[in-house]
Amino acid sequence: MFIITEEEIRKKVKEIAERINEDYKNCDEIILIGVLKGAFVFLADLMREIKIPSKIDFIKVSSYGQSTESSGIVRIELDTSIDITNRDVIIVEDILDTGLTLKYIKELFLSRNPKSLKLVVLLDKIERRKVDIKADYVGFVVPDKFLVGYGLDFSEKFRYLPYVRELSETEKSS
Protein backbone atom coordinates (compact mmCIF):
# COMPACT_ATOMS: atom_id res chain seq x y z
CA MET A 1 0.00 0.00 0.00
CA PHE A 2 1.32 3.44 -0.96
CA ILE A 3 1.95 5.84 1.94
CA ILE A 4 3.63 9.20 2.60
CA THR A 5 4.42 9.56 6.28
CA GLU A 6 3.66 12.50 8.53
CA GLU A 7 7.40 13.21 8.85
CA GLU A 8 7.93 13.14 5.07
CA ILE A 9 5.05 15.60 4.64
CA ARG A 10 6.41 17.92 7.34
CA LYS A 11 9.86 18.01 5.68
CA LYS A 12 8.41 18.61 2.22
CA VAL A 13 6.16 21.46 3.42
CA LYS A 14 9.23 23.17 4.91
CA GLU A 15 11.18 22.68 1.66
CA ILE A 16 8.36 24.20 -0.40
CA ALA A 17 8.02 27.12 2.01
CA GLU A 18 11.77 27.78 1.82
CA ARG A 19 11.56 27.96 -1.98
CA ILE A 20 8.59 30.33 -1.77
CA ASN A 21 10.41 32.47 0.81
CA GLU A 22 13.39 32.73 -1.55
CA ASP A 23 11.29 33.39 -4.67
CA TYR A 24 9.24 36.11 -2.96
CA LYS A 25 11.91 37.63 -0.69
CA ASN A 26 11.48 41.04 -2.33
CA CYS A 27 7.70 40.91 -2.23
CA ASP A 28 5.67 43.02 0.20
CA GLU A 29 2.81 40.54 0.43
CA ILE A 30 1.49 37.38 -1.19
CA ILE A 31 -2.04 36.04 -1.44
CA LEU A 32 -2.38 32.32 -0.73
CA ILE A 33 -5.59 30.87 -2.13
CA GLY A 34 -6.49 27.41 -0.91
CA VAL A 35 -8.71 25.12 -2.91
CA LEU A 36 -11.33 23.74 -0.53
CA LYS A 37 -11.79 21.37 1.02
CA GLY A 38 -8.77 19.19 0.37
CA ALA A 39 -5.99 21.79 0.54
CA PHE A 40 -6.88 23.40 3.86
CA VAL A 41 -4.54 21.22 5.95
CA PHE A 42 -1.63 21.73 3.54
CA LEU A 43 -2.34 25.48 3.35
CA ALA A 44 -2.39 25.81 7.14
CA ASP A 45 0.97 24.08 7.53
CA LEU A 46 2.50 25.89 4.55
CA MET A 47 1.46 29.37 5.64
CA ARG A 48 3.06 28.83 9.06
CA GLU A 49 6.39 28.17 7.32
CA ILE A 50 6.18 31.10 4.89
CA LYS A 51 7.97 34.18 6.21
CA ILE A 52 6.58 36.65 3.66
CA PRO A 53 3.57 38.68 4.87
CA SER A 54 0.53 36.96 3.40
CA LYS A 55 -3.22 36.92 3.27
CA ILE A 56 -5.28 33.82 2.72
CA ASP A 57 -8.47 33.21 0.85
CA PHE A 58 -10.30 30.18 -0.45
CA ILE A 59 -12.10 28.93 -3.50
CA LYS A 60 -14.31 25.86 -3.43
CA VAL A 61 -14.86 23.92 -6.61
CA SER A 62 -16.17 20.45 -7.28
CA SER A 63 -15.62 17.87 -9.96
CA TYR A 64 -15.67 14.59 -8.01
CA GLY A 65 -18.92 14.47 -6.01
CA GLN A 66 -19.15 11.08 -4.28
CA SER A 67 -16.99 9.28 -6.83
CA THR A 68 -13.32 8.29 -7.05
CA GLU A 69 -13.19 9.66 -10.63
CA SER A 70 -13.41 13.30 -11.70
CA SER A 71 -16.48 14.15 -13.76
CA GLY A 72 -14.42 16.65 -15.76
CA ILE A 73 -17.04 19.33 -15.11
CA VAL A 74 -15.83 22.06 -12.75
CA ARG A 75 -18.34 24.02 -10.68
CA ILE A 76 -17.44 26.99 -8.46
CA GLU A 77 -19.22 26.58 -5.14
CA LEU A 78 -17.43 29.43 -3.33
CA ASP A 79 -15.37 32.17 -4.94
CA THR A 80 -12.58 34.22 -3.40
CA SER A 81 -13.28 37.51 -1.63
CA ILE A 82 -9.89 39.23 -2.03
CA ASP A 83 -9.26 41.33 -5.13
CA ILE A 84 -6.13 39.83 -6.71
CA THR A 85 -5.61 42.53 -9.34
CA ASN A 86 -1.88 43.37 -9.52
CA ARG A 87 -1.12 41.08 -6.55
CA ASP A 88 1.26 38.14 -6.17
CA VAL A 89 -0.94 35.06 -5.90
CA ILE A 90 -0.20 31.44 -5.10
CA ILE A 91 -2.92 28.84 -5.58
CA VAL A 92 -2.53 26.04 -3.02
CA GLU A 93 -3.99 22.66 -4.03
CA ASP A 94 -3.78 19.23 -2.46
CA ILE A 95 -3.43 17.16 -5.63
CA LEU A 96 -2.88 17.76 -9.32
CA ASP A 97 -4.56 14.88 -11.12
CA THR A 98 -6.17 15.26 -14.55
CA GLY A 99 -5.40 18.99 -14.37
CA LEU A 100 -8.89 20.00 -15.45
CA THR A 101 -9.83 21.67 -12.17
CA LEU A 102 -6.53 23.47 -11.63
CA LYS A 103 -6.38 24.63 -15.25
CA TYR A 104 -9.89 26.06 -14.88
CA ILE A 105 -8.95 27.86 -11.64
CA LYS A 106 -5.68 29.15 -13.11
CA GLU A 107 -7.43 30.58 -16.19
CA LEU A 108 -10.11 32.15 -13.98
CA PHE A 109 -7.48 33.86 -11.82
CA LEU A 110 -5.38 34.97 -14.80
CA SER A 111 -8.50 36.74 -16.11
CA ARG A 112 -8.46 38.76 -12.87
CA ASN A 113 -5.04 40.25 -13.74
CA PRO A 114 -2.76 39.27 -10.87
CA LYS A 115 0.79 40.61 -10.85
CA SER A 116 2.00 37.00 -10.71
CA LEU A 117 0.31 33.62 -10.36
CA LYS A 118 1.95 30.39 -9.26
CA LEU A 119 0.64 26.95 -8.37
CA VAL A 120 1.71 24.79 -5.45
CA VAL A 121 0.50 21.22 -5.03
CA LEU A 122 1.30 18.70 -2.37
CA LEU A 123 0.77 15.73 -4.69
CA ASP A 124 1.23 15.45 -8.44
CA LYS A 125 -0.27 12.49 -10.30
CA ILE A 126 1.47 13.17 -13.62
CA GLU A 127 0.33 9.99 -15.37
CA ARG A 128 -3.33 11.04 -15.05
CA ARG A 129 -2.90 14.45 -16.74
CA LYS A 130 -5.48 15.25 -19.44
CA VAL A 131 -4.46 18.89 -20.02
CA ASP A 132 -1.14 20.70 -20.23
CA ILE A 133 -0.58 22.19 -16.78
CA LYS A 134 2.34 22.06 -14.36
CA ALA A 135 2.69 23.26 -10.81
CA ASP A 136 5.47 25.67 -9.90
CA TYR A 137 6.02 23.90 -6.58
CA VAL A 138 5.40 20.17 -6.12
CA GLY A 139 5.62 18.16 -2.94
CA PHE A 140 5.52 14.57 -4.16
CA VAL A 141 4.99 12.87 -7.51
CA VAL A 142 2.60 10.02 -6.73
CA PRO A 143 1.32 6.93 -8.56
CA ASP A 144 -2.16 6.58 -10.04
CA LYS A 145 -3.82 5.48 -6.79
CA PHE A 146 -6.79 7.01 -5.00
CA LEU A 147 -5.16 8.72 -2.00
CA VAL A 148 -6.64 9.92 1.29
CA GLY A 149 -5.38 11.69 4.40
CA TYR A 150 -3.83 15.06 5.19
CA GLY A 151 -6.97 16.80 3.89
CA LEU A 152 -7.72 14.41 1.01
CA ASP A 153 -10.96 12.51 1.37
CA PHE A 154 -13.23 9.85 0.00
CA SER A 155 -16.88 10.83 0.55
CA GLU A 156 -15.76 13.21 3.36
CA LYS A 157 -13.88 10.42 5.19
CA PHE A 158 -10.17 10.16 6.05
CA ARG A 159 -9.27 13.90 5.90
CA TYR A 160 -8.12 13.72 9.53
CA LEU A 161 -5.23 11.31 8.87
CA PRO A 162 -1.84 13.03 9.46
CA TYR A 163 -0.31 11.08 6.55
CA VAL A 164 -1.34 10.19 2.98
CA ARG A 165 -2.21 6.64 2.04
CA GLU A 166 -3.89 4.64 -0.66
CA LEU A 167 -7.61 3.96 -0.26
CA SER A 168 -8.21 0.21 -0.04
CA GLU A 169 -10.65 -1.63 -2.28
CA THR A 170 -12.70 -2.49 0.80
CA GLU A 171 -12.97 1.19 1.77
CA LYS A 172 -14.00 2.14 -1.78
CA SER A 173 -16.97 -0.23 -1.65
CA SER A 174 -18.19 0.65 1.85
pLDDT digits (tens, 9 = 90+) for 30-47: 999 999 999 999 999 999
pLDDT at residue 21, rounded to an integer: 98
Long-range pairs, 147-153, Cβ under 8 A, ≥24: 147/2, 147/95, 147/123, 150/4, 150/9, 150/41, 150/42, 150/94, 150/122, 151/37, 151/38, 151/39, 151/40, 151/41, 151/42, 151/94, 152/38, 152/94, 152/95, 152/123, 153/37, 153/38
Catalytic residue among 97, 132, 136, 144: 97
Q: Where exactly are the structural domains of the chain? A: 3-173
Residues 129, 122: Cα–Cα separation, whole Å? 16
Are the beta carbons of 119 and 91 closer than 8 angstroms?
Answer: yes
User: pTM of the prediction?
Assistant: 0.91
What is the third-level CATH fold of 3-173? Rossmann fold (3.40.50)
57 catalytic, yes or no?
no
pLDDT at residue 71, rounded to an integer: 55
pLDDT digits (tens, 9 = 90+) for 47-97: 999 999 999 999 998 775 554 455 567 888 999 999 999 999 999 999 999
pLDDT at residue 73, rounded to an integer: 75
